[in-house]
Chains A and B, each alone.
Chain A
Amino acid sequence: MEPMKTMKRREAISNSNLLLLIAAVIFVLMYGIAILCYPRSFFQYQTFFDLFSLNAALIIITLGETIVMIGGGIDISIGAVTGLVTMCCAVYLESGNGSIEGSILLALGIGIAFGLMQGFLIAYLEIQPFIITLAGMFLANGLLTTIHKDPLNVTMPHFVRLRDTVIVIPWLGTMNRLGNFIPLEVKPGAIVVVVLIIVLSVFLHWSRFGRNLYAVGGNSQSALMLGINVKRTKFISFVLCGLLSGIAGFVFIMTTGAGNVGNASGFEMKAIAGSIIGGTMLTGGVGNLIGSPIGALTLLTINELIRAAGINSNFQAIASGLLLCLFIVLQSSVLWLRRTGGFKLKGT
């Protein structure tokens, strides 16, 4: 038993976990810097939890994107689908006979419909995912503007109540400047995010589908030979991603309370960026559902930092770009060092 243990200690960390570790370290470092520079705002729990509350939709989308990317695909329609969902929900809720339950079903339905369509075309007709989801993006965008062009504020009382719901966590509050204790407030969206992260991580780690997904992303030809239903696995990954954009859409409107043409636009690229920073490889087979939200949070923190510093908002995008650049170079250097230092992969 003894030699086994020593062997275990020498066990090389897998690429997925290594990249996750890098992402986590950088996030902690950056948040630390933020606290040091602006202790007043960043040292509050509220600021940290607001990152979740206000960006719940983006984080959910990032999860979806990561799942697809692990399977070796890419989905650039998710932002547009999320936007479409918010508008549809808004129109439905404002139509007079809408209900919360109905709008949830509507949101999930639209998401799954897009997932089914794109998944079928990509997995079973073997069309390049980039093109199909690009078409999906155009479709969702076109439908969105066709349904309603102007901003639509939802005024339905039930919904407004849901929108304004906050969950108060009294034991994690902060003192404000006047010395009054303000308890921590969390939006329901943040809860959804946390639940989804846990559920999906467990799902990917313990389910047959999850492991098959990694296999398909790693080498789909081998996966086929190992007796995995590659097409179905890919299909399910896109459906899952569609479902998540549906959820994200509902969470989005639950947070903002309005349907808008610009809702969630550009989220797909932010989600991809978040996934990459979180250690997901676009080539597939490497990635982590804990890492991706960390990646997204890293991007959001840097934006918050710049806002707190009061610099021109254009620098937010530039800083995001720089951060992304840093990560990409870091990741590729680390992987390169591993390759040359330790072992050689056959082929790619």
Chain B
Amino acid sequence: MQNVLEMSGICKSFPGVRALHNVSFSLRKGEVHALMGENGAGKSTLIKVITGVYEKDAGQILVDGKAIHFRSPQDAQNFGVGAVYQEIMLCPNLTVAENLFIGRGQHALVNWKQMKEKAAQLLRSLDIPARPTQQLSSCSLAVQQMIAIARAIDMNCRILILDEPTSSLDEEEVQKLFRLMRELKARGVGIIFVTHFLDQVYEISDRITVLRNGEFIGEYEAASLPQFELVSKMMGKALDDVSQIKKEKSASIQRGVPVYEAVGLSSTAGIKPFDFTIHKGEVNGFIGLLGSGRSEAARAIYAADKVIGGEVKVNGKKVKIREPMHAMKLGIGYLPEDRKSDGIIADLSVRENIILALQVLKGFFKPFSRKQAEVFAEEYIKSLSIKTASTSTPVKSLSGGNQQKVIIARWLLTHPEYLILDEPTRGIDVGTKVEIQKLVLKLAREGVSITFISSEIEEMLRTCSRLIVMKDREIAGELSGENMTERDIMHVIAGGGTKS
């Protein structure tokens, strides 16, 4: 079959980082080609090289057999390369119609009427619940993502790049997207698909290219590459740690005294009043679909959103938690869902990021000495094996997994009694994932209570001894012990209620 895109020997370095080294990639006409790799493998960089956001240092890009060189996204777009990025790259202050059509076409003047009509037609054909004249910022994230996809599809591009397009979509929307992708495929569009969801890869992809550490590992037919092998190719090591975790977990299922109890807790983020208790040394989890309220529940416990009702007891004593500071003082730690926007202080050093929470707890007038801070930082860099050049390296230059470990170190340093981990494993490589899961169980054995949230059911089943199923922003059921299987969870989410 004809190759619409062919890249060879692509190299790209940033100051201090070799992001891509000698990477090859080819895309056929009318295929879905999954680009796989752990975080920091170079997928996003490769995509940005294709779309002209970054200039490659070396290598060759052939489109339809002709060597080309994109200097900007505009160039790429004119050449028939459309892209949808993980973070929604649209302008919130413009209307939906403008977002669909801006930056395209060569006309010096804007024909508003025609644009609105075309936009209405496009939105209708893709079944997107938005109006052309609506300001984009008033649409939900999922709708915004659909609009970004609609825009890319409407450009009649020959190459369509979808970088984690499904992360903010629900199952139904994902299926809608897949239908579209199949349609485009039939029309001969080459689609590059990046995702962390392995099931989705196998559902839609024809071929898979794996990158690891900025290097090309291989190109495979999806049908002939078992999922297990794909994971081991991405990680570069075998996955035998998982079984070990199961053994460790069984030791941790025992209940101590309640550490945190809440009755009728609710917050401004729209979570309905809920009751919740966690015991000493217990690992429990909030599970549910995206938007089910699992993160909002965790944020309400930590008062990350404004708490508007409910009674809380910590260690049996009635307390009021109105600010994250109050929660911290009571020995609660919280690892936020969005590492970049809520977690790390990007420009500050690893050291400052690690000591931050303890420093704040200690007080404004009692700064740690540099020496003391170094000792703390060194200790946790070692015990969590954080890969960093030094304690003074800005945390933003670390890979995603290591950034996550820095935030975990930040909370471990405060020796919390109760730790809330909201998606601690999202977007990080499989190896680090296993490490974090092990760490969670180890902490629980040491008597720390942990609430664990993840969108991967398998991971939740592995680590948690009790699951609270969320649905429509309230608790739909609770599962523990033998009832905790994938089927039971699905049953509750689908509306069957709890069996126990």
**Touch between A and B in complex, CB under 8 Å?**
yes
Give the residues from 190 to 213 in chain A that come closer than 8 angstroms, CB to CB, to chain B: 205-212
Closest to B141 in A: A346
Which one of B85-93, B241-249, B359-367 is at the interface? B85-93
From A15, A226, A286, give the contact of B90 (CB < 8 A).
A226
Q: Which residue of B lies closest to A225 (CB)?
A: B89
Contacts A225-B73, A227-B73, A346-B92 given: A212-B103 contact, CB under 8 Å? yes
CB-CB under 8 A from B141, the residues of chain A are 346
**Contact at A207–B94, with CB atoms within 8 Å?**
no
Q: Which of A149-208 contact B (CB under 8 A)?
A: 205-208
Q: A226-B91, A228-B74, A346-B88 are in contact. Are A215 and B138 (CB under 8 A)?
A: no
Closest residue on chain A to residue B144 by CB atoms: A346
Residues of chain A whose beta carbon lies under 8 Å from any beta carbon of chain B: 7-8, 11-12, 14-16, 205-212, 214-215, 217-219, 221-229, 285-286, 342-343, 345-347
Within 8 A of A (CB), among B124-154: 131, 133-135, 137-138, 141, 144, 151
B403: CB under 8 A from chain A? Answer: no
Max chain A C-beta neighbours (<10 A), residue from B73, B77, B95, B341: B73
- By a CB distance below 8 angstroms, the chain B residues around A211 are 94, 98, 102, 110
Contact partner of A285 (CB less than 8 A), chosen from B91, B95, B103, B138, is B91
* B residues less than 8 Å from A8 (CB atoms): 133
Contact indicator A12/B134 (Cβ below 8 Å)? yes
Chain A CB within 10 Å, residue with most, of B72, B93, B134: B93
- B108 CB within 8 Å of chain A: yes
Q: Beyond the given A12-B134, A226-B103, could you list 12 further A-B residue pairs with CB under 8 A, ordered by the A residue number?
A: A14-B95, A205-B110, A208-B108, A208-B109, A209-B108, A211-B102, A218-B94, A219-B91, A222-B90, A222-B91, A226-B102, A227-B72
Determine the distance from Cα of A207 to Cα of B106 in the docked complex, in whole angstroms. Answer: 11
**Nearest CB in chain A to that of B51: its residue:** A225
State the Cβ distance, B77 to closest chain A Cβ, in Å.
Answer: 4
* Chain A residue at smallest Cβ distance from B136: A218
Which residues of chain B come closer than 8 Å to A210, judged between CB atoms? 110
Q: Which of B77, B88, B107, B138 contacts A227 (CB 8 A)?
A: B77
A285 touches B93 (CB 8 A): yes
The chain A residue sitting closest to B139, CB to CB, is A343
Chain A residues near B453 (CB-CB < 8 A): none
Residues of the A chain whose Cβ atoms lie less than 8 Å from the Cβ of B109: 206-208
Residues of A close to B131: CB separation below 8 A: 7, 11
Verify A12–B103 contact, CB threshold 8 A: no
A345 to B76, CA, bound (A): 29
- Asked whether B83 is an interface residue with its Cβ less than 8 Å from the other chain, the reply is yes
- Closest-by-CB residue of A relative to B135 is A14
> What chain B residues lie within 8 Å of A346 (beta carbons)?
88, 92, 141, 144
Q: Judge whether B89 and A222 touch: CB under 8 Å.
A: yes
Tell me, yes or no, whether B356 is within 8 Å of chain A by CB: no
Q: Is the CB of B53 within 8 A of A347?
A: no
B104 within 8 A of A: yes
Q: Is B74 within 8 A of A227, CB to CB?
A: yes
Among residues of A, the one whose C-beta sits closest to the C-beta of B108 is A208
Give chain B residues whose Cβ lies under 8 Å from the Cβ of A16: 93
* SS class, residues of chain A in contact with chain B: helix
A343 and B72 contact, CB distance less than 8 A:
no
CB distance from B339 to the nearest CB of A (A): 14
Residues of A with C-beta under 8 A to B83: 225
Nearest Cβ distance between residue B85 and chain A, in whole angstroms?
A: 6
How many contacts A-B (CB < 8 Å)? 103
11 contacts between A and B (CB under 8 A): A8-B133, A206-B109, A212-B103, A214-B91, A215-B102, A218-B91, A219-B93, A222-B89, A227-B76, A228-B74, A346-B141
Distance in Å: Cβ of B106 to nearest Cβ of chain A = 8
How far is it, in angstroms, between the C-alpha of A273 and the C-alpha of B74 when the chains are bound? 36
Nearest chain A CB to B131 CB, angstrom units: 6
> Contact: A343 with B103, CB < 8 Å?
no
Select B110's contact among A206, A219, A229, A342, beta carbons within 8 Å: A206
Q: How far is the CA of A215 from the CA of B91 in the complex (A)?
A: 6
Most buried by B among A14, A210, A211, A225: A225
In the assembled complex, the CB of B117 is this many whole angstroms from the nearest CB of chain A, namely 12
- Residue ranges of B at the interface with A (Cβ–Cβ < 8 Å): 51, 53, 72-74, 76-78, 83, 85, 88-95, 98-99, 102-105, 107-110, 112, 131, 133-135, 137-138, 141, 144, 151, 341
CB <8 Å contact, B110 and A207: yes
Docked Cα-Cα span, A346 to B72, in Å, equals: 26
A11 to B105 alpha-carbon distance, docked (Å): 28
- A215 to chain B: which residues have CB within 8 Å? 91, 93-94, 98, 102-103
A345 near B92 with CB under 8 A, answer: yes
Q: A12-B135, A228-B74, A343-B137 are in contact. Are A286 and B102 (CB under 8 A)?
A: no
Q: B104 near A225 (CB under 8 angstroms)?
A: no
- B102 contacts A212, C-beta separation under 8 Å: yes
Bound-state CA distance A27–B386 (Å) is 60
A164 to chain B, nearest CB (A): 40
CA distance A48 to B77 in the complex (A): 50
Given contacts A206-B109, A212-B102, contact A229 B72 (CB under 8 A): yes
B134 partner residues in chain A, CB cutoff 8 A = 11-12
Q: Are A208 and B107 in contact (CB under 8 A)?
A: yes
Residue of A nearest to B105 (CB): A208
On whether the beta carbons of B108 and A227 are closer than 8 Å, the reply is no
Rounded to whole angstroms, the CA-CA distance of A207 and B135 in the bound complex is 19
A286–B51 alpha-carbon span in the complex (Å): 29
Provide the bound-state CA to CA distance between A211 and B103, in Å. Answer: 9
Nearest CB in chain B to that of A284: its residue: B93
Q: Which residues of B contact A205 (CB under 8 A)?
A: 110
Docked Cα-Cα span, A286 to B1, in Å, equals 49
Q: Measured between alpha carbons, how far is A15 from B144 in the docked complex, in Å?
A: 18
Q: Output the least CB separation between A231 and chain B (Å).
A: 9
Bound together, the chains give a CA A228 to CA B73 distance in angstroms of 8
Across the interface, which residues of A come within 8 angstroms of B341, CB to CB? 347
B93 touches A226 (CB 8 A): no
Determine how close the nearest CB of chain A comes to the CB of B142; give it in whole angstroms: 12
CA A141 – CA B38 in complex, angstroms? 56
Residue of A nearest to B131 (CB): A7
Q: Is the CB of A286 within 8 A of B103?
A: no
Q: Is the CB of A225 within 8 A of B110?
A: no
Chain B residues contacting A342 (CB-CB under 8 Å) are 138
- Least Cβ–Cβ distance between A240 and chain B, in angstroms: 15
Chain B residue at smallest Cβ distance from A218: B93
Question: Are the CB atoms of A208 and B93 closer together than 8 Å?
Answer: no
CB contacts (< 8 Å) of B133 on chain A: these are: 8, 11
CB atoms of A217 and B93 under 8 A apart: yes
Q: How far is the CB of A2 from chain B (nearest CB, A)?
A: 15
